[in-house]
């Protein structure tokens, strides 16, 4: 059990080091030296979300942080940084996960009470 | 709490870690046990070097964005450079590297939250001219954390910057 937890942590580290890439289940399973089926089952059990859900969530949350703290980065630049080919696809994924568009998120989080 | 002294450094360290997933309250309840697991591994492989070894807490997620139940926090320990590690049990290894703005604090137990709030404040980041980099921040215990609420210890907060 402990070994599986370690392997899942290592997989998370791998994902976070490759957020600008399109990360496949094949890559992750190979990295963990497991079959795709076994890896996916273990990952979902340990994380309570699928590999795809985890990757998307981390990309949205990490880009959300930069939306707030990096006004110099455009939505298109952020889309490329997190492995999306265009701003539209990224914005759609962001809205689905966060409930608002990247621009609205940036404005809302940076608004300060007067 | 006094304003911290700030330095900017290129930092590189290999660390061993144990990771927790859950709220910060749950993490605090488990942190002693996690530290003991890490310590047992470090002692087994003679990784502790006086004057070199440091203990860190790594915050993988942002509590203002990530759901509290999914927050990941690691207790980590630096190991000497080029150490060949046999990862086992829950113990993994990773590298911390890159440019960091380091806030050097003298903190009591009740001041950590305020110290982190300042580290991510507009006052510190924008007015200081720091550009945030997408990497995990961490706190490094320069001296042993205080045992009670009255004592203080030297703690450095590392904020990844470009």
Domain coverage including residue A76: 55-110
Residue A109 is predicted with a pLDDT of 84
- pLDDT tens, B115-149? 999 999 988 988 889 999 999 999 999 998 777 77
Residue B43, C-beta contacts closer than 8 angstroms, at least 6 positions apart: none
Whether residues A65 and A90 fall in one domain: yes
Cross-strand partners of B8: B101
Whether residues A26 and A72 fall in one domain: no
Cross-strand partners of B13: B96
**pTM, to two decimals:** 0.93
Q: Looking at the 3D structure of chain A, how many domains does it have? A: 2
Q: Are B83 and B98 in contact (CB under 8 A)?
A: no
Show which residues on chain A lie within 8 Å of chain B, measured between beta carbons: 2-3, 5-6, 9-10, 12-13, 16, 19, 47, 57, 61-62, 64-66, 69-70, 72, 81
Residue written as tokens 């999306």?
A: A84
Residue B139 is predicted with a pLDDT of 96
Distance CA B157, CA A45 (A): 33
Q: Is residue A73's pLDDT more than 90? A: yes
3-state secondary structure of A50: coil
Q: What's the CATH superfamily of B5-160?
A: Regulatory factor, effector binding domain (3.20.80.10)
Q: Are B98 and B133 in contact (CB under 8 A)?
A: yes
In this prediction, what percent of chain A has a pLDDT beyond 90? 76
Considering only the beta carbons, identify the residue of A2, A12, A61 that sits closest to B66. Answer: A61
Whether residues A61 and A105 fall in one domain: yes
Whether residues A33 and A72 fall in one domain: no
Q: Is residue A111's pLDDT more than 80? A: no
In this prediction, what percent of chain A has a pLDDT beyond 70? 97
């Amino acid at each position: 059990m402990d070994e599986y937890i370690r392997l899942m942590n290592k997989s998370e580290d791998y994902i976070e080091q490759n957020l600008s890439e399109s990360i496949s289940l094949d890559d992750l399973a190979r990295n963990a030296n497991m079959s795709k089926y076994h890896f996916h089952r273990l990952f979902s059990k340990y994380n309570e979300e699928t590999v795809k859900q985890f990757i998307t969530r981390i990309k949205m949350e990490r880009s959300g942080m930069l939306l707030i703290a990096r006004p110099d980065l455009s939505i298109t630049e952020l889309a490329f940084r997190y492995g999306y080919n265009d701003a539209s696809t990224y914005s759609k994924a962001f809205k689905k996960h966060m409930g608002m568009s990247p621009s609205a998120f940036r404005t809302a989080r940076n608004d300060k009470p007067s | 709490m006094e304003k911290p002294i700030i330095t900017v450094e290129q930092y590189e360290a290999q660390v061993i870690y144990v990771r927790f997933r859950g709220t910060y309250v749950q993490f605090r309840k488990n942190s002693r046990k996690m530290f003991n697991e890490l310590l047992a591994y470090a002692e087994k492989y003679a990784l502790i070097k006086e004057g070199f070894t440091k203990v860190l807490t790594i915050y993988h997620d942002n509590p203002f964005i990530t759901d509290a139940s999914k927050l990941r926090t690691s207790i980590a320990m630096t190991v000497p450079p080029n150490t060949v590690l046999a990862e086992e049990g829950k113990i993994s290894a990773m590298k911390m590297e890159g440019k960091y703005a380091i806030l050097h604090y003298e903190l009591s137990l009740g001041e950590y939250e305020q110290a982190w709030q300042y580290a991510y404040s507009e006052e510190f980041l924008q007015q200081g001219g720091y550009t945030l980099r997408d990497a995990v921040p961490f706190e490094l215990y320069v001296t042993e954390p205080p045992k009670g609420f009255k004592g203080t210890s030297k703690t450095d907060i590392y904020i990844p910057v470009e």
